[in-house]
Amino acid sequence: MPATPTPLLDIPDLPEGPADIRLIVTDMDGTLLDDAKRIPDGLWPVLAELRRRGVLFSPASGRQYATLARQFADVAEGMVFIAENGTYVVRDGVELSSDSLGPAVAGAIARTVRRLVAGGVDVGAVVCGKRSAYVERTDEAFLAEVRKYYVEHRIVEDVTAVEDDVIKVALFDFGSAEHSTAPALAEFAGTHQVVVSGEHWVDVMNRTADKGTALRGLQRALGITPAQTMVFGDYLNDLEMLDAADWSFAMAGAHPEVVRRARYLAPSNNDNGVLRTIARVLGL
């Protein structure tokens, strides 16, 4: 259980007493994980208690399914993974939903990245398939970032020629993704989602794909209402899923737009904000 006593958790306007929560969905980076990308040690006993109470815990991330499944390997049974920013949802190895990006679009994005690189932008593309992620760039600095989020990845000569069901293209910008790479993808914004998912990451997906769409589909399938759903997020790719829950929390230090959209503000990811809030709301 969290080391900090829950009465010290001051969340303005939060109703008192245990709530009827049936589903808890949390972003990973900047939300559940601390800045060193570590899962808090206190999570595992909390997950055991949530399972005992019949509360479903679901990681929702831009990370690929294989990465999430490895991180939660010891407790993955029955857990729903909302992976790749909602484009791929899996439970016990079975696909619940997906939203594939057409190969022509994926190829066009990859070619745009090549032009950016030729123009001096320090950026690389990750073509995200259901089986693996695919990259052309081979320098260690870029691959070190890829490995953090895509444990299943392959270096290929041409990412436009991969034979996989592509669900997203992610771009890593060593500068500011929001101010450099994202604007360069304006041609795709009219027909697809161009989402800044972190300081250095931009994701391009179908307009119908986001964490909120995936969450609402899960709620319908399980008969769980927004009033029974708790969501945590910190960045722009979390906005839609915050809208799908009455118990929506922005982390302290979150992007200003996330703070505006969430109903409540939780302590930061470095202060065990997710665990402390769960303990407070559910009376753990």
Q: Which residues are catalytically annotated? A: 27
The amino acid present at 68, given as its one-letter code, is L
* Contact status, residue 238 vs residue 32, Cβ threshold 8 Å: no
Question: Which residue is associated with the tokens 């081979």?
Answer: 138
Q: What is the DSSP letter of 210?
A: S
**DSSP assignment string, 183-204:** HHTHHHHTTEEEEE-SSSEEEE
Cα(121)–Cα(107) distance, integer angstroms = 19
3-state secondary structure of 60: strand
Cα(98)–Cα(205) distance, integer angstroms = 11
Cα(196)–Cα(17) distance, integer angstroms = 36
Cα(239)–Cα(250) distance, integer angstroms = 10
**Quick one: how many helices (H) and strands (E) in the chain?**
10, 14
Q: CA neighbours within 13 Å on the CB side: how many for 81?
A: 24
